[in-house]
Amino acid sequence: MAKKRLVVFTGAGVSAESGISTFRDAGGLWDKYPVMQVASADGFARDPALVHQFYNMRRKELLGVEPNAAHRAIAELEATYDVDVITQNVDNLHERGGSTRVLHLHGELMKVRSLRDESRIYELTEGNLMVDENSRDEYGDGLRPHIVFFQEDVPMFERAIELVRSCDIFLIIGTSLNVYPAAGLLVYPPKIAKIIYIDTNPAKVDWRAGIKVVAGKAAEIAPTIADLLAEE
């Protein structure tokens, strides 16, 4: 029998217990750094050095952390389900936790791309993490983080909609569902799909009937995820 289609939609909360800051919780990243300065198209145009500095710092932080039990539990679901992960996170902890199909809606921290040609994308390595406004690629072109800045389109959104439309189960973990269009994915699971939302402080999702909300830390709930999905 074909495996059921599971789409796992994650946000910063899934990586919180690895030691990566969330954005909107108290003390989160957007408390410390004004979002429009470090993560918007205007901010990058105004002060690229500052934006590079911000992402360099986050890359360094990423190297020092490990996937947690939630990332690993999601990867293990591939034994039972046909799994696609759609993440708003720019870290690579899903991949390092073993997930094989990961769509990054908001880009990837460990990649940069050419300012001239957005199809030229470069993977950074541990020994080559720091990028600044003077960095150049092999064609002599400047580089920018491979991140979807605020004020920019989300190029992977159409693909994400396709995936969600074809799911049997939609599992949402660790997102405040504040940022659009990403949060808008919730309207796309088929009516008969089962929807589960795990978050320490879940957003209101009562506008869609039948969502099972589980309040708690992703890594603590991780050992029970398989049972939650199997429940009728």
Task: Name the one range near ligand OAD by CB under 6 A: 20-28, 74-82, 159-167, 222-230.
Answer: 20-28
Write out the binding residues for ligand OAD, residues 93-112 only, by CB under 6 A: 106
**Per CB under 6 A, 218 contacts ligand OAD:** yes
> From the CB of 136, what's the least distance to ligand OAD, in Å?
25
Active site residues: 106
Write out the binding residues for ligand OAD, residues 137-156 only, by CB under 6 A: 148
**Per CB under 6 A, 48 contacts ligand OAD:** no
**Per CB under 6 A, 15 contacts ligand OAD:** no
Exposed, middle or buried: residue 147 (CB in 10 Å: 0-12, 13-18, 19+)?
Answer: buried
Cis amide bond preceding 223, omega within 30: no
Task: Name the one range near ligand OAD by CB under 6 A: 16-24, 55-63, 122-130, 132-140.
Answer: 16-24
With a CB cutoff of 8 Å and minimum separation 6, the contacts of 147 are 39, 55, 90, 106, 107, 108, 109
Residue of 7, 8, 11, 196 that binds ligand OAD (CB under 6 A)? 11
What one-character DSSP code corresponds to residue 3?
P
Query: Of 192, 202, 221, whose CA–CA distance to 71 is shortest?
Result: 221
Which lies closer to ligand OAD via its Cβ, residue 141 or residue 156?
156
Which lies closer to ligand OAD via its Cβ, residue 92 or residue 200?
200
Residue of 194, 199, 222, 225 that binds ligand OAD (CB under 6 A)? 199
**Per CB under 6 A, 18 contacts ligand OAD:** no
**Per CB under 6 A, 175 contacts ligand OAD:** yes
Which lies closer to ligand OAD via its Cβ, residue 190 or residue 223?
223
Three-class SS of residue 132? coil
Tokens representing 81? 């389900």
Which lies closer to ligand OAD via its Cβ, residue 84 or residue 91?
91
Query: Of 21, 87, 32, whose CA–CA distance to 58 is shortest?
Result: 21
Residue of 7, 16, 124, 160 that binds ligand OAD (CB under 6 A)? 16
Query: Of 110, 113, 119, whose CA–CA distance to 56 is shortest?
Result: 110
Strands of the chain (E only): list them.
5-10, 82-87, 102-104, 107-114, 121-123, 143-147, 169-173, 194-199, 211-215
Three-class SS of residue 207? coil
**Per CB under 6 A, 72 contacts ligand OAD:** no
Summarize as ranges the residues that interact with ligand OAD (CB under 6 A): 11-13, 16-17, 22-25, 28, 39, 88, 106, 148, 174-176, 178-179, 199-201, 217-218
